[in-house]
Each structure stands twice: as structure tokens, then as C-alpha cells.
Structure 1
Amino acid sequence: MRQAWARFSSVSVSPFRTVFVGIVAMAMTLGAVGGTSAASSKYAAIVVDANTGKTLFSANADAPRYPASLTKMMTLYMLFEALDGGRLSLSSRVPFSAQAAAEPPTKLGVKAGNSITVETAIYSMVTKSANDSATAVAELLGGSQQKFARMMTAKARRLGMSGTTFQNAHGLPDSAQKTTARDMAVLGIALREHFPRYYKYFSARSFQYGRQRINGHNRLLGRIKGVDGIKTGYTRASGFNLASSVSDGNRSIVAVVMGGQSGRSRDAQMAELIKKYLPKASTRDSGPLIAMRGESPIAAIASAILPKRKAPTPDPRPDVIVALSEEEVLEAERQQMAEQETVVEETTAPIVQAYAEPAPRPKSAPRPKADVDPIRTSSTAPEGWAVQVASSPSAAEAEGFLAKTTKRAPKAVASASPFTVPFVKDGTTYYRARFGGFGSKTAAWDACAALKKKKISCYAVQQ
């Protein structure tokens, strides 16, 4: 811009040309302030009314984008969920493996073999966007970063984030890790609604780590009235990203800007969106917009937030039907759905309670990794042969079938792991209830035969 301005200003011009030069300079200045031109291939933005779910502004909101460190919003969601369920406390230790310690900056710099508290991990991800802390948390909750990424993707589906796939917990470059501006807005609202006790950490502008005061990257905190978080992000591939939560009186919005050309221009673009659209937000709170974890994913998000046309849902490991063809599977599922009343008498609140989060353990008691997620989803399901016992348009109902089947025929599924598999048919998402981990087709068929003796419809498939 300076070179262009120098060329214009170095020439003696007429009054008309002087006016023209002024207009050009003003346009260039406005472009720099707005920052993320709509012509940029990386640009996307959305503003959502956090009281009603109404989209107030949208630009490329459903186009795939790289999340960069906005990824850590989901890492923190998973961590808050573990805290909320009593599986961890703020004082629990987060160990750092060699892989976690070796992550590139930005990082906290913890050496392999050392550990930090959960609260320190939260602060480091919110403010410094520490990649090493994100990896350490992933390994603590998922056993490995790869498994944790599959858990993150599964959780995204349950929140209604149909255009998001995670490959890591920190957001460092990965061509397969994609999201959308709309999905990040959904996640921002979910963090506010589901974890009000822990959401306050997103407003931290700095924190004390040892003798060091670490400042955060979110420059809008303390500068723009009403901004209380959420997260910044940047990689060369993504550009400069920012998700912001803003409240002013009874009005509340969540806004996302992705693909900024610089941190300053991204912040300027966000400030403009807040100034323009916060006054247009509703003062009436219509209630929760994102379904809580125990509710049916079909009601996972208000229809006002969902895109009119859903993006395709990635499936990292599609089901391979071996025992039956796909047509036979669908026919078997229709028969199962007709017979399911003999398996589950009531599939509402009592079923959800059967898989409620475990009660907190004493600090001295070990926490097995299997306790991280009582019901697995397809992305974390055991490989090998499985036995399907039900299919339902409700995830809670599918989990209920698993609970009832275990209760009615415990010996038949004693060595198996329950999980659900989502699939879409005629525009509706259904959930297959399966027991997996059988080492052979014969073992799966034997288990199914035992279930049928209990009048439980089933069939064997290979994952």
C-alpha cells in the first residue's frame, strides 16, 4: 500500500486527480482495516445470535477451512467434559510424553517426564495456545493423540458440527483437518452453554506460570466492550482465525472470522462485525441452542444454526458388511426396529441414567482409560467383528438397547465393547447399536446365537 501511495503522491496532479487519489487511498485504507477481503480464498465469517440461534451475518460460512488453533476449543471442550463428569479435577496432573514435549511452538516448554496441573493446561491453551499442553491432554484423555482426534470428531458430530474432522488436538497443519466457520460458532455456543463453570477461563488475558507471566493472544479482550473470549488461531494455510463471544446487556453473539491476512486486520474485521451486528441481536433468550450430551443428536442444534444443506459427514473407517449385504442390513434393521419393544420397554430418561457419567473417585484411586467414554462411537469402536442389536434415530435410544442387552444377556457380550455407529438414510441420521471386539466371525455368530435365545434380534458384521 505504501508503494502504491508513493507513486500517486510523487506526481503533480490536477484537482480532479487529487480527488481521485484520495478516493483510491481511502478505499485501500478501508480494505486494510476490513482486512479479510471476500475475494480471499481463505476468508469465511459468521455472526450468530447466541440467544436465538439466528444467523445475523454469513460469508462462506459452510466452506471447508483449516481451524488452526481453534482446534483447541474442542480439546478444551473434551477436558471440561472430563472435569464436569468427575474423571479429573483442576489439580489433577497432566503428564508430558516425549511426543508432547517435542511439539513445535507455541508451547509451554514442559520437559518429557514432567507434568502440570489440569488448570495450568487450560490456561496455557487459552492464552498461549500451547501445542505441547494440547498433546499432553489428548494423550491423557484418549491414550494417544490419534485416538483422541477420533473422539473429538465423534463429539463434533454429536454437537451438530457436520463439516468438521479433527486429526490432532492442537491445530498444527494437517491437510485432512477441516472445519467451517459455522461449526466453530456452534462449538463456541456449546462451550458457553454446557460448561458455564469453566467457560470463564476463556476470558483470561494472562496467567502466572512459575516466575513467568504469560500473556494471551486475544487482543480484543479488554479492548472491545463485552468480549469474553474465545480463541485465536493461525497457520500459513489457514490465515488468521478468531472466534469471539460477546455479551452486552441482554444481547449476546458468537462470531467467527477465518482466513485473515494479518492478526491486526482480522481483529479489525471482528470489531466491525461486533459493532454492526450486536445491536441487531435479540434481547430475549430462547433457551439452550445446543443439545446437552445426554440428549438426542437429532436435536443437537437449533435449526436456525444448521446450514440449509449439510456438508457430507466424513467417515474415516466405513463399515464393511461381510455377513450381510447392505440391502440385507437395512432389511434386518427394519425388522429390528419392529422388534425392539421386546428388548427395551422404556427408552427415555432411565436409559440415559444407565450411562450417566461415573461418580468422582478418590484422588488415590486409579482412573482406567476405559472410563473416559462409557459408550464409544464408530470413530473409537473396536476393530474386528461386531454384533448389531438395534438401529434407532435416537443415539440415547441406541445406547439404551446396549444397556438392556447387557442386562438381559450378560454372558453373551461379556467380552465385547458397546458402541454406536451413525449413518444417514433419506436425510435422517440413525444410530446402529453394536457390540464389538469379537476376534472372529465364529465368535460373533456364537454371541448372536446366544442373544437370539434371549429373543434379542441380532446379526454379525465386520468393522
Structure 2
Amino acid sequence: MRRLTVSLAMIGLLAIIPALIGFKQESEPKAATPAPAAVPVKAGPSFPEIPIKEWTHQPIAPPDTADFLVGSMAFVNLTDGQILVDKNASERVFPASTTKLMTALLAYETAVDKNELDKDVVTVKQSTLEIPWDSHIVHLAVGDRLTVRQALYATLLESGNDAANSLAEYVSGSTSEFVDLMNARSKVLGLTGTQFKNAHGYSDPEHFTTALDMAKITYAFGTYPELVEIAGTYEYEAKFVDQAGDLKRRWWYHLGSAVNERSIHYSELVTATKTGYTDESGYTMVFLMERDSKQYALVTMQAKSGQTFPTMRSVEQIAFGIPHE
């Protein structure tokens, strides 16, 4: 019994010797806590700064003037920031192909930033041509390679939905990402009643604007003389290559007759224009005007056939004293 007691004492002594002489007993290793995974933050788009002053109402005629035939319109002195005519100009409307002013604005800004305006960097893909069957097109084909300037002419003159998509894919890689860019640009411009769902303006219940918002887009568009020149040109010859490298030659003509000197609707005041029409939108039109070194935007929406140009002539008469003929 004595031997057992001694043995147990020796075992206890051996157990505490490491602690007495300073040895550290090893503990069970703990699993390292993983560092939180780094989540990449996508930077928001940046745009060229286009200062725009707050607009004030300085009406030159009441909105119910009999000769203002269209359903919604805005006439704005862009230089001085004065809304001269406001007829339902804050009401939601469908813009139709006047949408392409925003598309052209973003494509132009991108091309200038990259020094690519006259480089054949716009390539038509199969996805470019995925548009409604009854879209207005300029008959681009898969593999066609255009310069950005040529695609701008096709978009703004002939209002090709295929051309608009080609610009969208040039800028963003896909039309869906380009739509995000359009909406981001809208916020920067201070648009409060606009939402885009496509790059060309084909009717969509969630694709809308207001006449005043479109006037602000026109203001931004009008700050670029090259864009004004393109959208104010009646005819343009384009030479580009197809998928095989063979030369294509096309003549494109402006659908907006206000810049056609041979048309009864021609106006010396109009420096650029953009047309639009769908069954849902009615006839839509944007006129960029210049008088006495000041820029003006006339936006007409929800027009029936034969209402747009008489309304334009009435504005010219009231604002500038130009008589009807």
C-alpha cells in the first residue's frame, strides 16, 4: 500500500514539473478565422460635366393657345434657362425615336473620350439586330464595321434601330448595360420623369419621358457642335466594309423635313432635329433652334398627323415674329 502511495505522488510531481520550470504546455491548435472576402465595388459611371442652370417659367403664350395642336409640348430658351411654353410638359409620355438623342449623346461622349469618332470600331453583331420585326432600320448586316460618326448619322438621320443598338454595344458591350448608362445619365442631367428601357425608343410601358426632360436632353446634345451638325444634315453618304472586307456604300436621308431646304416644312431656325413615331406615342419631334446667338428647344409630343409643323410655325410666329406662309 505504501508503494502505491509513493508511485501516485511521483506521477503527480512529474505532471507539475513543466509548469514549475517554465515550460509552456501546448494547447490544441485553433482554426484561423478566415479574413472577410474582398468584394469588388463597381465604380459608377462618370460623365462630362454639362452645367445647366435652373429653369424658370417665362411664358410667352398660354398653354391652351389654339394653334398649339399637339398634346404635350415644351419650348425653352436654353441659353437663358427660360421655359417659354409649357403645355402638359411635365406629364409622362412615350418618346419613340427621340430617345436616340440620348443614345447619340452617350456614344459621342465615349468616342471623343477614346479618340475613336472616326475609327471603324462599331461592329454589327447578331445581338445588334435583335429588335422588333417592325422596327425602322438602315439594313445593317452582321459583320459590318462602321465608324462611330457613320453610326451616328444612321441613328440620327434615318433613325435606324439597328444603328442605335450598334452604338449601344460599342459603348457598353450590351444593350442592357447601355440602358443602365442612359438612366444614370438621366439622373446626372436632373431628369425627374424619364426612364429608359432600350436604346432606340420602341414602345415599352416602362420607357417614358416628359417634354421638359427631353428639352434637357436636347440642351446637353446641343452643347456639342459636331452632334448638332450631324442631326442637322439632310443627306449623308457612308462608305464602310462588310464582314468579308468588301466596300459598302449607303446614302442616308434625314426623316426630319425641317432641315430639308426643298421641303415646305423647312425652317431656317432649325439647326438639328429628331423625329419619332409609334402607335402608342403618336408623332414626337425635337427641334433645336437658334436665333440671335441663342439656342432654343421645341419638343412636341403626343401629336396626331398634321399637327407638329403647324405648331412649330405658331411658335416661330409668337416667339420670333415670323409670319405663317
TM-score normalised to structure 1 length: 0.50
Residues 267-322 of structure 1, C-alpha deviations (whole Å, 9 max, x = no match): 22122223222459xxxxxxxxxxxxxxxxxxxxxxxxxxxxxxxxxxxxxxxxxx
Q: What letter corresponds to residue 92 of structure 1 in structure 2?
A: D
Residue 289 (structure 2) pairs with residue 249 (structure 1): no
Residues 392-440 of structure 1, C-alpha deviations (whole Å, 9 max, x = no match): xxxxxxxxxxxxxxxxxxxxxxxxxxxxxxxxxxxxxxxxxxxxxxxxx
Is the Cα contact below 8 Å between 1:97 and 1:113 reproduced in 2? Answer: yes
User: For residues 278 and 79 of structure 1, what CA distance do their matches in structure 2 show?
Assistant: 34
Aligned pair in 2 of structure 1 residues 248, 90: CA closer, same or farther (>3 Å)? same
Q: What are the within-5 Å matches in structure 2 for residues 359-398 of structure 1?
A: none
> 1:248: Cα distance to partner?
2.1
1:128 counterpart SS class: coil
Q: What are the within-5 Å matches in structure 2 for residues 101-120 of structure 1?
A: 101-103=129-131, 104=133, 105-120=135-150
> 1:211: Cα distance to partner?
4.4
Residue 128 (structure 2) pairs with residue 95 (structure 1): no
Any runs of at least 4 consecutive aligned residues in structure 1 with deviations exceeding 6 A, and if so which?
A: none
Aligned residues: 242
Match of 1:67 in 2: 95
Residue 297 (structure 2) pairs with residue 267 (structure 1): no
User: For residues 54 and 125 of structure 1, what CA distance do their matches in structure 2 show?
Assistant: 29
User: For residues 115 and 172 of structure 2, what CA distance do their matches in structure 1 show?
Assistant: 13
- Which structure: larger Rg? 2
Residue 235 (structure 2) pairs with residue 206 (structure 1): yes
Is the Cα contact below 8 Å between 1:188 and 1:230 reproduced in 2? Answer: no
Match of 2:204 in 1: 174
Match of 1:50 in 2: 78
Match of 1:132 in 2: 162
Match of 1:228 in 2: 271
User: For residues 214 and 140 of structure 1, what CA distance do their matches in structure 2 show?
Assistant: 21
User: For residues 249 and 110 of structure 2, what CA distance do their matches in structure 1 show?
Assistant: 29
User: For residues 211 and 234 of structure 1, what CA distance do their matches in structure 2 show?
Assistant: 27
Is the Cα contact below 8 Å between 1:126 and 1:204 reproduced in 2? Answer: no
Is the Cα contact below 8 Å between 1:101 and 1:109 reproduced in 2? Answer: no
User: For residues 44 and 34 of structure 1, what CA distance do their matches in structure 2 show?
Assistant: 9
Higher helix share: 1
Segment of structure 1 superposing worse, 207-216 or 129-138? 207-216
User: For residues 144 and 275 of structure 1, what CA distance do their matches in structure 2 show?
Assistant: 45
Q: What letter corresponds to residue 159 of structure 1 in structure 2?
A: L
User: For residues 83 and 279 of structure 1, what CA distance do their matches in structure 2 show?
Assistant: 40
Q: What are the within-5 Å matches in structure 2 for residues 178-193 of structure 1?
A: 178-193=208-223
Q: What are the within-5 Å matches in structure 2 for residues 390-429 of structure 1?
A: none
Q: What letter corresponds to residue 257 of structure 2 in structure 1?
A: R
1:171 counterpart SS class: coil
Match of 1:456 in 2: none
> 1:200: Cα distance to partner?
1.4
User: For residues 293 and 124 of structure 2, what CA distance do their matches in structure 1 show?
Assistant: 42
Is the Cα contact below 8 Å between 2:111 and 2:148 reproduced in 1? Answer: no
Is the Cα contact below 8 Å between 1:251 and 1:279 reproduced in 2? Answer: no
> 1:83: Cα distance to partner?
2.2
Residues 363-402 of structure 1, C-alpha deviations (whole Å, 9 max, x = no match): xxxxxxxxxxxxxxxxxxxxxxxxxxxxxxxxxxxxxxxx
Match of 1:218 in 2: 256
Q: What letter corresponds to residue 159 of structure 2 in structure 1?
A: S
User: For residues 48 and 34 of structure 1, what CA distance do their matches in structure 2 show?
Assistant: 15
User: For residues 116 and 84 of structure 1, what CA distance do their matches in structure 2 show?
Assistant: 16
1:121 counterpart SS class: helix
Is the Cα contact below 8 Å between 1:64 and 1:163 reproduced in 2? Answer: yes
> 1:92: Cα distance to partner?
3.0
Aligned pair in 2 of structure 1 residues 212, 197: CA closer, same or farther (>3 Å)? closer
1:246 counterpart SS class: strand
Q: What letter corresponds to residue 171 of structure 1 in structure 2?
A: G
Match of 2:245 in 1: none
Residues 313-341 of structure 1, C-alpha deviations (whole Å, 9 max, x = no match): xxxxxxxxxxxxxxxxxxxxxxxxxxxxx
Q: What letter corresponds to residue 252 of structure 2 in structure 1?
A: I
Q: What letter corresponds to residue 68 of structure 1 in structure 2?
A: A
User: For residues 320 and 150 of structure 2, what CA distance do their matches in structure 1 show?
Assistant: 33
Is the Cα contact below 8 Å between 2:202 and 2:278 reproduced in 1? Answer: yes
Is the Cα contact below 8 Å between 1:91 and 1:117 reproduced in 2? Answer: yes
1:55 counterpart SS class: strand
> 1:120: Cα distance to partner?
1.2
Q: 1:151 aligns with which of 156, 181, 186?
A: 181
> 1:35: Cα distance to partner?
4.2
> 1:114: Cα distance to partner?
2.3
User: For residues 99 and 183 of structure 1, what CA distance do their matches in structure 2 show?
Assistant: 29
Identical counterparts, % of pairs: 25
Aligned residues: CA RMSD? 2.0
User: For residues 189 and 218 of structure 2, what CA distance do their matches in structure 1 show?
Assistant: 11
Match of 2:191 in 1: 161
User: For residues 317 and 108 of structure 2, what CA distance do their matches in structure 1 show?
Assistant: 31
Is the Cα contact below 8 Å between 1:251 and 1:278 reproduced in 2? Answer: no
> 1:249: Cα distance to partner?
2.3
Q: What letter corresponds to residue 316 of structure 2 in structure 1?
A: I
Is the Cα contact below 8 Å between 2:258 and 2:273 reproduced in 1? Answer: no
Residues 91-146 of structure 1, C-alpha deviations (whole Å, 9 max, x = no match): 23211111322434311111122222211101111110010011111112112111
User: For residues 84 and 108 of structure 2, what CA distance do their matches in structure 1 show?
Assistant: 29
